[in-house]
Amino acid sequence: MFDCVALVGATGAVGRIVLDQLHARQFPMRKLRLLASARSAGTQVQFGDETLTVELLEPSAFEGVDLVIASTPDEVSAEFTPWATKAGAIVVDESAYWRMDPSVPLIVPEVNPDAIDSHQGVVASPNCSTTQMVVALAPIHKAVGIRRVIVSTYQATSGAGLAGNVELESSTRASLDGQTHAAETFQHPIGFNLIPQIGSEKHEGYTSEEMKMVYETQKIMGDESIQVCPTAVRVPVAIGHSESILVETREPLSAAQARKLWEEADGVTVVDDLNSKSYPMPRDCDGKDDVFVGRIRKDISAENGIAFWCVSDNLRKGAATNAVQIAELLAKKHQPAG
């Protein structure tokens, strides 16, 4: 039981879901404080039967706080996290700022929960596209080992925040009305379009979003020998990232064996019956916490390959739910002073 938990970024899309999850999952805490920038400070937010007032994010705000859950831009996390840890709080951070810091564990509870024991005051939650992929990869890697992963993502506009969904609507409306639309959040108009660029150019033609999937996957799985070839694409879908994944395993694995592993895995739901047109789709996974797997089949072009389709709500398991699950791991280990 934590005496005091602080949520930084409570008024954002992910922060709102964190609030819902803390209430729905009956997170063990006595008090909850909401922190945000001056623009949002003073805003009143409902939490169960309580009405909470958002307080200003400043160093003194962390006095008496045991745990912080944060969903902020990288630069905000870089500034406030030292304030929180200096005050004695543990920070569960959603931003990308701390993920590849060697002293910071990068956690997906279904995959590497024990890694949390190495934290030094900060625990990072991965990129949304990485999170759902490693949840699906982990049972395979544990059973037969993974040599290589080829993944193409189909990422929802909400991955770019509230502005992404606003632009999806305005861009789509402009297209339907036969008007031009000036893109602001994305590189090109997203309505009725696909954009094969998420993030900036990072490494040999790969984008920052793609390289996150490479490095984060290796860190979470604890195996730098796993090779990942990603292509990240923004699609005109509001919520729910989809991924087409081809896994080259170290030992042979049939499609039936892979399906059984996923059926028995925590946090995975199998939806896989092509004859009945049953497979995961973003509209069916919206608002759900699991990672959904379907279109499971043997790679007919090479040995030791399994192809599948993976969908997850990027705001929930890809962000808010994973952060709350990390906080629950910490709560189990927390012993209040005195």
pLDDT digits (tens, 9 = 90+) for 72-127: 999 999 999 999 999 999 999 999 999 999 999 999 999 999 999 999 999 999 99
What integer best gives the mean pLDDT of the chain? 96
d(CA 208, CA 205): 10
Instruction: State pTM to two decimals.
Output: 0.96
Residue 337 in this model has a pLDDT that exceeds 60: no
> Binding site annotation covers 39?
yes
> Binding site annotation covers 12?
yes
Check residue 9 and give its pLDDT.
93
d(CA 134, CA 232): 16
Residue 336 in this model has a pLDDT that exceeds 80: no
| Three-state DSSP state, 106 | strand
pLDDT digits (tens, 9 = 90+) for 120-149: 999 999 999 999 999 999 999 999 999 999
d(CA 332, CA 2): 10
Check residue 333 and give its pLDDT.
86
Residues 320-332, mean pLDDT to the nearest whole number: 97
> Binding site annotation covers 158?
yes
> Binding site annotation covers 155?
yes
Residues acting as catalytic residues: 128, 241
> Binding site annotation covers 234?
yes
**Token pair in block for residue 270:** 């199998």
d(CA 68, CA 122): 9
**Token pair in block for residue 205:** 């033609």
Burial annotation 300-335 (CB, 10 A radius, 16+ → b, else e): eeeebbbbbbbbbbbbbbbbbbbbbbbbebbbeeee
> Binding site annotation covers 164?
no
Check residue 320 and give its pLDDT.
97
> Binding site annotation covers 99?
yes
d(CA 309, CA 248): 15
Q: Which helix (DSSP H) or strand (DSSP E) does residue 170 occupy?
A: helix 162-176
Angle in degrees, CA 229, 235, 236, rounded to 5: 170
